[in-house]
Amino acid sequence: MSYITGFLLPVPAAKKEAYIASARKSWPLFQKYGALEQVETWGEDIPPGKVTGFDLAVKLEPDEVVVFSWLRWPDRATADKCFAEMMNDPDFDGMDMPFDGKRMMWGGFAPVFEGR
């Protein structure tokens, strides 16, 4: 099975188009490193959490929206190589991040079941 890098982050609602443009710009770069798929989703039904929740996880502010996204890789080694090398790749220089990166979280996941 493949490997997934997942992301959860708050984006100012007013910067939706800038976020989409940034995602589109990053896709060819991730493809260059072997990514098979990039999915960016804009929160529409994010119930407020009481103990846990997407809003609490990113410390969502009133003018922000939760974004959930992922990259699919052929395997973990490919993902690890990308993230190890991308900071030194000049193609990644100047990438606009229209959100507070300090409140973004990410992690790598090994699929255990895929229904299609």
Cβ 50 vs Cβ 26: under 8 Å: no
Reported pTM: 0.91
Cβ 4 vs Cβ 76: under 8 Å: no
**How many CB atoms are closer than 10 A to CB 68?**
16
Residue 9 has pLDDT above 90, yes or no: yes
Domains of the chain with CATH codes: 3-109 (3.30.70.100)
pLDDT at 105: 92
d(CA 109, CA 10): 21
Between the alpha carbon of residue 1 and those of residues 5, 93, 109, 111, 113, the distances in Å are: 13, 31, 11, 7, 9
Strands in the chain per DSSP E: 3-12, 37-42, 64-73, 105-109
User: Sorting pLDDT into bands at 50, 70 and 90, what band is 90?
Assistant: confident
